[in-house]
Structure 1
């Protein structure tokens, strides 16, 4: 069977076509984002959002985010279609084992599309949540099909661990299985998870390549396709990092850390290539000074604040986070206050958009905005207030009022954001209503009129 006649090739081609159509849809919706249907809430688009996109399932699948009805239907189509291909055209047990192996290889292509979720989602033009669902689902299916292949091979006595082929096959399957288990410790030890996840992924690909006989050229093409995709996106990401961090005649990225209270850190990054920051944008930050283990490791953060030059581009950005373990704890313990250190960034990614909650793609198009946050979660809200105030002064916003409810967790929460809040107060003339409660320089509850 030729590669172009393979059902797996057809599936992959269909996926690429759907991605292209999705990109075209985003371009068209961006062009028509200011036009609303005369049918209002009865238009097909609004009905589609109301019944298929907005609702969320009350249950959660392991390592899969809460799904909308549309996402659940697509997921069921994927599982059902894969199960059908497990049997169509395969009459004997041995053929079904080979078919499971080919399906596992086909699922490696989306699995190895990019070395990072942020950059992969950025290239495809999809949300980080959607990319995460695709990545985890493909990983689960690859491990499941590999397990079926190993089980059938063992039952047919075609699986010999003493041979290099059998050993590499088992090693590759174990690595794929470990990739499903590792996310369970992601929130506790992010740095260990990141390195271990990457190492297991590389070992799995090498072991599977050595497991496949050289005469099975079609099977090896799936590995080559995975490598080509990973190499291409990796090269693009490297060029993006170099562009963002290196500029002729300017210093590279510098970080200055300022601790607040016991465990809150405000980090200012001076960047060589300014860009127009949007509220909700994120970056990945690496600080080589923290040690060899952190030399090429980046940690994700949301941009909390930025200072603009005369052209409206940010020449410095600020982050705010609470030191816990790993990278954030090392930043607090190892970086001296108000001293510059070399750093590097990858990004920006985002921004977060309200496009999934109506026909508008801009938060400034909503009439009334309510923000609720606790602790240093204020760092994720301040950029939106800053951006809305700027647009309000330029008469380019439809928002009439902004209400922010902030519950302080600790006394240091207020101190860490005080300077930014005072700057917003100077720019505000009663547009924002701010309600603060909790420990701090307030009493039990304090409402600040005009802010």
Structure 2
């Protein structure tokens, strides 16, 4: 039975999951055959539910509105996708794809709901009514939410997008709540269900935040010691400025290779108290961590302000108050392989260092089956050096 499952998994990966039907684009993709099949099935199911046993367009439109609220249960289940992905045991990328698919499906269903209501003979929409004003506010919020979620606009101002996305979602939910009639109990249940789940996951996330940061342990909050590493890349202009963060924890935690944390540093800039940034943990230990090592490449916003603050004192760590959530993400399984190939380009070599340390330690202690380890690092210059890589002769703790 196990061999049959492994054979099916290999066949699905080789012919459906790995080959791309739509290659990577700045607006969409990449989509594999498996992605397209899943999206197609998801769309067909929603269409069937909307039009099954309906006798008019208005009836189908009302059903589409209720189905849109059901599709919104997943996008509204948690304030942060990282925590939701950890609860479900899936990767952050998979959680993002589900979030996007259900969100766009809700937008499509609500658009059909609005069009169907406008085409109805009983359509009457006086703007003097309070309910209709909130309906209009919710519709405008939804349209703005959809437009600002386009990739080319989202990537240009991601930090502004993130907060505006949450604010528009709250405004849309309030407008929807005011739009629903008082006697419509079932649609209101569809709206209350994700809000209850959101409140529960937010409470659990806050409790986990307080525990991991040791806020009530009497040792104070974590401190981030940031140092400027101008020598990180002397021949690669894009990486000429980088920062090294050493996060000292009041409570030790367990972190596996490939996991990341969301870091909050309120004193970096005027808007940094509203921002949390994900950083891959570059340190690894077989036990629990008392400190966390991070390597930061400035791109804009908080990371750029952080490097600017510490650039004047190279080699001298600057302390900052910090808090974090995590560790988030899943670790790739390397236990059962004798030959491992690691591929990285430029700055992303930092993400492979925990795996290198883990596998070298496993080889030295005979706890892993790894015998051959190949690292392919794409750089612009043969003299380029970003981070010191662990050597098998160096002890790894």
Specify if TM > 0.5.
yes
Aligned residue runs from structure 1 range 33-44, under 5 A: 37=3, 43-44=7-8
Q: 1:66 to 1:347 in 2, by over 3 A?
A: same
CA drift of 1:190 comes to 2.2
Shift of 1:409: 4.5
Residue 164 in 1 paired to residue 141 in 2?
Answer: no
- Correspondence for 1:347 among 319, 326, 330: 326
Shift of 1:376: 1.5
Higher RCO (C-alpha under 8 Å, 6+ residues apart): 2
Distance in 2 of aligned mates of 1:299 and 1:195: 13
Give the match's secondary structure for 2:330. coil
In structure 1, C-alpha distance between the alignment counterparts of 2:247 and 2:282, rounded to whole Å? 11
The 2-side partners of 1:197 and 1:129 are apart by 18
Alignment of 1:195-234 (within 5 A): 195-234=163-202
Unaligned runs of 5+ in 2: 231-239
- Number of the residue aligned with 2:236: none
Deviations 1:24-54 (A, max 9, x none): xxxxxxxxxxx962x697x444334433434
Q: Contact 2:226–2:244 (CA<8 Å) still a contact in 1?
A: yes
Q: 1:179 to 1:63 in 2, by over 3 A?
A: farther
TM-score between both structures, scaled by the size of structure 1? 0.77
Q: 2:306 aligns with which of 289, 312, 331?
A: 331
Shift of 1:114: 1.1
Which protein has the bigger helix share?
Answer: 1
Aligned residues: 378
Residues 408 and 68 of structure 1, relative CA distance in 2, 3 Å threshold:
closer
What is the CA-CA distance between 1:64 and the residue it aligns to?
5.9
Task: Return closer, same or farther for 1:145/1:316 CA change in 2, 3 Å cut-off.
Answer: same
Evaluate the alpha carbon distance shift between residue 283 and residue 63 of structure 1 in structure 2; reply closer, same or farther with a 3 A threshold: farther
Instruction: Say which of 340, 355, 370 aligns to 1:399.
Output: 370
Aligned to 2:377, the other structure's residue is in SS state strand
Q: Does 1:181 align with 2:159?
A: no
Q: Is the 8 A contact 1:376 1:413 kept in 2?
A: no
2:235 corresponds in structure 1 to: none
Quote the offset at 1:165 in angstroms. Answer: 2.1
Task: Please give the secondary structure, in 2, of the residue aligned with 1:363.
Answer: coil
Normalising by structure 2, report the TM-score.
0.87
Distance 2:294 2:42 in 1: 39
Looking at structure 1, the residues matched to 371 and 2 of structure 2 have their Cα atoms a distance apart, in angstroms, of: 20
Q: Provide the C-alpha distance between the structure 1 equivalents of 2:274 and 2:241, rounded to a whole number of angstroms.
A: 24
Kindly state the Cα deviation for residue 68 of structure 1 after the two structures are TM-superposed: 3.7
Segments of structure 1 that go 5 or more residues without pairing to the other structure are: 1-34, 354-361, 430-451
Deviations 1:285-335 (A, max 9, x none): 0001124522242111111125x5xx8221111111211211111111235
What SS is found at the alignment partner of 1:284?
A: strand
RMSD of aligned alpha carbons: 2.6
After TM superposition, the structure 1 = structure 2 runs for residues 193-272 of structure 1, keeping only pairs within 5 Å, are 193-246=161-214, 248-261=217-230, 262-272=240-250
Quote how far apart the aligned CAs of 1:264 are: 0.9
Matches within 5 A, 1:130-145: 130-145=94-109
Shift of 1:205: 0.8
1:142/1:60 CA distance change after superposition, 3 Å: farther
Choose from 56, 63, 66 the match for 1:99.
63
